Structure 1
Amino acid sequence: MSKLTCFKAYDIRGRLGAELNEDIAQRIARAFSEVLGAERVVVGHDPRASSKALVDAVKAGLLATGAEVLDLGLCGTEEMYHATAYFEADGGIEVTASHNPMDYNGLKMVKRGSAPLDPKTDMLAIKALATSQNFAPAKPGGTVRLAKAARGAYVQAVLSFVDVAALKPIKILINAGNGAAGPSFDAIAEGLAKRGAPLSFICLNHEPDGSFPNGIPNPLLPENQPMTANAVRAAGADLGVAWDGDFDRCFLFDHLGRFVPGEYVVGLLAEVFLAKEPAARIVHDPRIIWNTQEIVNRLGGVPVMARTGHAYLKQALRDTGAVYGGEMSAHHYFRDFACCDSGMIPWLLIVELMARRGVSLADLVSERMAAFPSSGEINFQVADTGAAVARVLAALKEEVVARDDTDGLSLDMGTWRLSLRSSNTEPLLRLNVELRGDAALVAASVARLRALIDAQG
């Protein structure tokens, strides 16, 4: 009985061939349906060349359990999330590799209400059944039908977050990265136009193309950012928006072409929601926290810290009733969007904030970046992650004023702070550093930590 190595903490990702193929996808889908007792499942896929065959295998696995399959076709992951809740389905599956290399694909899965699968129960049960293949006898009666109403309902849901009457004329550069975003964006843009939104768009790499002729869309990587940045400047745009392959992450560029790190976007969106709902709870991840916490506390909200990862952020929203949650990796979660992440809602809310404040995105974030400079996430490959963490602790023990172990190790030295997390799958340490007001000290702090982490023995 071969092991299924494509199972990660809360989704499926694997190299095409031995790790993930049509047979494995069919087995996982059948196990998913049996474990959840699913009678209706929403299915969609991204534009990768391998996705169509894999989604057909997923449908076959679901049909073997007698389930009704609602087929969304080409769509973003958030459309699957929305449709799962909207159609009151028992679960949803998106075939996507998002920003992974060309020879990868995967499955993102949710259960009823678009709730995340529990990593310790649901995922383990699905993995066990898909591995053993001790399935119940196949059931007749399974059907597939196109979910024709899904996109229109999704557009209505997205646009419900923004006050179109408050918007002002603005030119926006859109980079879909040849991923799934193009058609969905077009539907949203059409809805905005019908409501009289004074927005104009310039579209780049707009057509879905699974060969990704302009590179795999992952705007978080610095080497991928100049394409959008240069296009913003060339077009004289007021704002740039770029997405990853399944557009559940949204990346912003100001009118100067400057990439806006995700933690500052979290702070802006916290401001948006606290203006709409004073005293609301705002969830954030533990990597970079000071900017978000200062904004939330100053505006009368309640900051809530949760472990990094979509399953944990979504569960925190559900547990606390928080109106919004954000991660520095550009995942943004919304209570009124089934507590799921969306890559379309954030840029709309930022456009509304720019209009209400009457300032540019650069103006909105420059002061915050100066007040709370940060390093961005830095990855270290080390032979012994535990020993590296111990060296950091030993060197800093006299300076530490507070420690938090919510997700890895977080140390607060008063004027600066670090987050150090071990990867679950590789000998990697992920470091983030933030300071209060002295950007020059970021590099010095990182250099000091780099020497400790890279030290031998």
Structure 2
Amino acid sequence: MAPLTCFKAYDIRGRLETELNSDIAYRIGRAFGEVMGATRVVLGRDVRPSSVTLANAVAQGLSDAGVTVLDLGLSGTEETYFATTHLDACGGICVTASHNPMDYNGMKMVKRGSAPIGQADGMAAIKSLAESGDFAPARPGGQIMDASATRAAYVAKLMEFVDLAALKPMKLLVNAGHGAAGPSFDALATALDATGAPLEIIRIHHAPDGSFPAGIPNPLLDENQPLTAGPVVAHGADMGVAWDGDFDRCFFFDHEGGFVPGEYVVALLAEAFLAKEPGQKIVHDPRVVWATQDRVTALGGQAIQSKCGHSFIKQVMRDTGAVYGGEMSAHHYFRDFMACDSGMIPMLLMIELISRRGQSLKDLLTNLRAAYPSSGEVNFRVDDQAAVIQAIEARYAPLALARDEADGLSLSFADWRFNLRASNTEPLLRLNIEARGKPERVAEKLAEMRGLIGA
């Protein structure tokens, strides 16, 4: 059979019909069951119409491999992660395209214990077997069971992350983007309300709708942020939260509708954990680091750098026992959530942090923004990525005070630093610049490097 191009480094993504269809989904499910030696596998799916068809095909493939499929139905990726461990399953698959275009879909997969599956410990073998179709004879005993009731236990787990007694009255606006977040959030909101949590909640774009009438939910894009920012101001909300399609990422807006860049969220969530557990380890990615590193050090914690990407962050979390890990791309990972990412836990932690500090989210950010201005991630489409990185290195490396090649090229100077790296998923170079208290330095160096890159 033809090679399967939908297999990526640590998940599956492809264009519908040409790269991913029901036949391929069946083969992936069948191969997953065989390679993982699975007897029980959790299966979830997002809101896209194609996800129903693909999930049914995966379920049939797993069932033909003799696997009991624990079907969550419509759910978030993090619910698959949770259920895999909670139900003691051999692995989990969530059929989701997250924030990809409408003509795409994909799958996120984990093994026992909700650990990521790398190339060496299963992904390459699953791909090879799905490509060849050389399956063992169908095994008896496979079945599909409704496991949607697991959501109650998932919500109970989320509630463990917040000190309900600390919460102060707050008006919260949430934007589910018509993705999978709505029903899961409603279950969480019901549990919070039952405890008397003093939250007034405004819901927008809430009902799941795979046609995405408000656009594909990706709040990281500048053009999508007014969808949340405007209603926050209009409703007089204290804070806004928006999710992507499978809600493994969440994004914050202050009471004036200001979007909160991801690096400052990481620093604030690090503070939230270190206030409760002093001395803990905090994992961060290498793109924009000074706000997190300095805040963690000042609070007596230990900052640990990891390469970008969920499989790397999760492994560092497991290896070090870090209580929390964050990426500026809005992925947040938690030791007590199987070292997996969640888009609901950060919301709870931010609500509690604002309550404890007695300040607005904007006020919490004022000093961080002033002390650590940054460019945000700037993407360049270039023909020869290696040549561009080499040219940047030749220009700046002789002047640098510190150099780091853990993930791309990071060079640090007296009052500014940058990270330049090739994307893991797209033909792009990604540049991040930060400075110490000098926004003009960020602007100067960004203009300078734009000229050198010439894209």
- TM-score tier, shorter chain, comes to over 0.9
Alignment of 1:31-46 (within 5 A): 31-46=31-46
Amino acid at match of 1:234: A
Q: Specify the alignment match of 1:310 in structure 2.
A: 310
Give the direction of change, closer, same or farther, for the CA distance of 1:425–1:292 in structure 2 (3 Å limit): closer
Please give the per-residue CA displacement for 1:155-190, whole angstroms capped at 9, x wherever unaligned.
000011001111000000110000000000000000
Which shows bigger deviation, 102-111 or 407-416?
407-416
Q: Specify the alignment match of 2:442 in structure 1.
A: 442
Alignment of 1:406-417 (within 5 A): 406-417=406-417
In the TM superposition, residue 444 of structure 1 has moved relative to its aligned partner by 1.2
Alignment of 1:222-301 (within 5 A): 222-301=222-301
> What are structure 1's unaligned runs of at least 5 residues?
none
SS at match of 2:429: strand
CA distance in 2, matches of 1:305, 1:279: 16
SS at match of 1:259: coil
Alignment of 1:104-123 (within 5 A): 104-123=104-123
CA distance in 1, matches of 2:254, 2:289: 22
Give the direction of change, closer, same or farther, for the CA distance of 1:76–1:425 in structure 2 (3 Å limit): closer
Q: Specify the alignment match of 2:67 in structure 1.
A: 67
- Matched residue pairs, number? 455
Kept after mapping to 2: 8 A contact 1:161/1:345: yes
The 4+ residue runs of structure 1 with deviation greater than 3 A are 424-427
1:201 has 2:201 as partner: yes
Q: Specify the alignment match of 2:167 in structure 1.
A: 167
In the TM superposition, residue 426 of structure 1 has moved relative to its aligned partner by 4.3
Normalising by structure 2, report the TM-score: 0.99
In the TM superposition, residue 375 of structure 1 has moved relative to its aligned partner by 0.7
Alignment of 1:148-187 (within 5 A): 148-187=148-187
Kept after mapping to 2: 8 A contact 1:96/1:107: yes
In the TM superposition, residue 427 of structure 1 has moved relative to its aligned partner by 3.5
Q: Specify the alignment match of 1:147 in structure 2.
A: 147
In the TM superposition, residue 425 of structure 1 has moved relative to its aligned partner by 5.1
In the TM superposition, residue 397 of structure 1 has moved relative to its aligned partner by 2.5
Kept after mapping to 1: 8 A contact 2:272/2:353: yes
SS at match of 2:343: coil
CA distance in 1, matches of 2:87, 2:427: 42
Q: Specify the alignment match of 2:50 in structure 1.
A: 50
Kept after mapping to 2: 8 A contact 1:286/1:307: yes
SS at match of 1:141: coil
Kept after mapping to 1: 8 A contact 2:9/2:118: no
SS at match of 1:123: helix
Q: Specify the alignment match of 1:383 in structure 2.
A: 383
CA distance in 1, matches of 2:149, 2:242: 26
CA distance in 2, matches of 1:427, 1:395: 23
Kept after mapping to 2: 8 A contact 1:388/1:454: no
Amino acid at match of 1:445: K
> What are structure 2's unaligned runs of at least 5 residues?
none
In the TM superposition, residue 3 of structure 1 has moved relative to its aligned partner by 1.0
Amino acid at match of 1:290: W
Kept after mapping to 1: 8 A contact 2:397/2:411: no
Alignment of 1:419-438 (within 5 A): 419-424=419-424, 426-438=426-438
Kept after mapping to 1: 8 A contact 2:415/2:435: yes
Normalising by structure 1, report the TM-score: 0.98
Amino acid at match of 1:383: D
Kept after mapping to 2: 8 A contact 1:233/1:256: yes
The share of aligned pairs that are identical, in percent, is: 64
In the TM superposition, residue 118 of structure 1 has moved relative to its aligned partner by 1.5
Q: Specify the alignment match of 1:137 in structure 2.
A: 137
Kept after mapping to 2: 8 A contact 1:324/1:333: yes
Which shows bigger deviation, 421-430 or 87-96?
421-430
1:352 has 2:352 as partner: yes
In the TM superposition, residue 86 of structure 1 has moved relative to its aligned partner by 0.2
Amino acid at match of 1:281: K
Q: Specify the alignment match of 1:392 in structure 2.
A: 392
Which shows bigger deviation, 117-126 or 386-395?
117-126
CA distance in 1, matches of 2:274, 2:21: 45
Kept after mapping to 1: 8 A contact 2:90/2:111: yes
Amino acid at match of 1:364: L
CA distance in 1, matches of 2:424, 2:121: 18
CA distance in 1, matches of 2:55, 2:97: 12
CA distance in 2, matches of 1:414, 1:28: 51
SS at match of 1:70: strand
Kept after mapping to 2: 8 A contact 1:384/1:427: no
Please give the per-residue CA displacement for 1:16-68, whole angstroms capped at 9, x wherever unaligned.
01100011111111111111111000001001010100000000110011001
In the TM superposition, residue 423 of structure 1 has moved relative to its aligned partner by 2.4
SS at match of 2:49: coil
Which shows bigger deviation, 416-425 or 373-382?
416-425
In the TM superposition, residue 258 of structure 1 has moved relative to its aligned partner by 0.1
Kept after mapping to 2: 8 A contact 1:167/1:352: yes
1:217 has 2:217 as partner: yes
Please give the per-residue CA displacement for 1:239-284, whole angstroms capped at 9, x wherever unaligned.
0000000000010000010000011000001001111111100000
